[in-house]
Structure 1
Amino acid sequence: MSWTLFALKIPSGSDWSAADRKSAADRKSASSDVARSVRKCFKCKMADEATRRAVSQIPLLKTHAGPRDRERWPVRLKEEYQALIRFVEQNKAADNDWFRLESNADGTRWTGTCWFIHELLRYEFRLEFDIPVTYPDTAPEVAIPELDGKTAKMYRGGRICLTDHFAPLWARNAPRFGLAHLMALGLGPWLAVEVPDLVGKGLVSHKERQREATAE
């Protein structure tokens, strides 16, 4: 599935209409609202300062449409891809590339990989999620099936538990939050907390070391 991202001409100050200025002011206000929500979230130790800076640069989404809205869902999906591409580019620039995602043809089923570096070793996992019919009012439930049953912060089927902090944050910022925010404020902090704990308990082993042990 390929998406073409269109270049936009940014008008000079004299070309801005009253509607343009109001739209820009609305976007600035929305960004401030999100920043306040994220700051409140960080007080709950959900993520670190680096994540906060990264999230502040992710574009906010505008189209309030889910998979059942056949007319506007493609517009929303394009915004999702644009935000994801921006987030991935930011991560690469900061030498913090940590996930890959791809969707089915209609953008309702997403699969990919995520990884976390712990003590100089890369722990990589497959991930998957479906877009709920009530999206974007409801966040998708990200699943890492291979970790199913290994941590209390996970539901049956490997769906990670994000209810305590992320769910209220998403609810306050819907429909402006999208999949890039789900990764940045949901999955990323979850991995940062859970992977070291699982490794320390011996519930997750580095795959390369597993192969070496098997070979011996």
Structure 2
Amino acid sequence: MGRGEYRTNDMLSSKWRDMNLKVRKFNGIYSQKWQTRRSGQSDAMIEREEEEQYREEFNAHFSLQRMKAGPRDGADWTQRLKEEYKALIAYTSMNKSKDNDWFRISAANPEGTRWTGKCWYVHNLLKYEFDLQFDIPVTYPATAPELELPQLDGKTHKVLLKSNLDFEYVTMYRGGKICLTVHFKPLWAKNSPRFGIAHALCLGLAPWLAAEIPILVDSGMIKHKDDAVSSSES
């Protein structure tokens, strides 16, 4: 591979475990509701109860998508885009109300198939900001979008786990596409087509940033913009 350095299992911080926390809790509620469903209770009723319980317990808001449509589906895709924007607005408003605003994103073309924006993460009271971009796959919403942080291309670490199993875990692919295979893609597959862009950001990108940015900063792989300016001037 030749990208970055290796971290052994013993070097993994609690940040990595936190990356999966929301996902595990959400999955746990879903499984519990499904297994204890009452006679005559529809799937829609279970979904509403699941969403309400998750919001109450973990202070998260999910506006689930209803239209199963992708970029090739004409008017249905237009309706799906409206639902996507509604969910993004709700999620952004919730973040602002909790003083946890951390991204800006919008469609970069009229078709809504290309999205660009910014995301940021605060570490040690310093704000680290990155370009964010992704394309909507033609197989969306069955397939989750691949979120890209091009400024971090080639800077992330690899995780070499050596315990009962021996395998390599890559946190980013070429081009700055973040790896969400372990903690998010199974959840997306389970909840498609109800999940959308807001869910990819909340349950995919946010925990990835929380797990990776502190490591990249502490290892010197990325620097705060003020430090970078000072270094260039010296």
Same fold (TM over 0.5): yes
Aligned equivalent of 1:53: 59
Letter in structure 2 aligned against 1:29:
I
Question: Which structure shows the higher strand fraction?
Answer: 2
Residues of 1 paired with 2:45 and 2:202: CA distance? 21
Residues of 1 paired with 2:197 and 2:126: CA distance? 27
Residues of 2 paired with 1:143 and 1:211: CA distance? 25
- Structure 1 unaligned regions, length at least 5: 1-24, 39-48
Instruction: Choose the corresponding residue for 1:98, options 93, 99, 102.
Output: 102
- Structure 2 unaligned regions, length at least 5: 1-41, 159-170
Aligned equivalent of 2:46: 29
Contact 2:217 2:223 in 1 (8 A): yes
Residues of 1 paired with 2:130 and 2:226: CA distance? 13
2:205 counterpart of 1:201 = no
Contact 1:61 1:178 in 2 (8 A): yes
- Percent of pairs identical after alignment? 54
Aligned equivalent of 1:12: none
Aligned equivalent of 2:150: 145
Structure number with the bigger relative contact order (C-alpha 8 A, sep ≥ 6) is: 2
SS in structure 1 opposite 2:84?
A: helix
SS in structure 1 opposite 2:122?
A: strand
Contact 1:63 1:72 in 2 (8 A): yes
Cα offsets for 1:37-67 (capped at 9, x unmatched): x8xxxxxxxxxx99x422xx22111000000
> Which consecutive aligned stretches of 4+ in structure 1 deviate over 6 angstroms post-superposition?
none
Contact 2:51 2:62 in 1 (8 A): no
Cα offsets for 1:107-161 (capped at 9, x unmatched): 0000000000000000000010000001001100000011111113001111000
Contact 1:61 1:176 in 2 (8 A): yes
What is the root-mean-square deviation of aligned Cα atoms in Å? 2.1
Aligned equivalent of 1:83: 87
Residues of 2 paired with 1:205 and 1:62: CA distance? 41
Q: How does 1:104-143 map to 2 (within 5 A)?
A: 104-143=109-148
Aligned residues: 179
- Per the normalisation by structure 2, the TM-score is 0.72
Residues of 2 paired with 1:146 and 1:184: CA distance? 20
Summarize the Cα distance change of 1:93–1:33 in structure 2 as closer, same or farther, 3 Å threshold: closer
SS in structure 2 opposite 1:101?
A: strand
Q: How does 1:153-192 map to 2 (within 5 A)?
A: 153-192=171-210
Q: CA deviation at 1:26?
A: 5.0
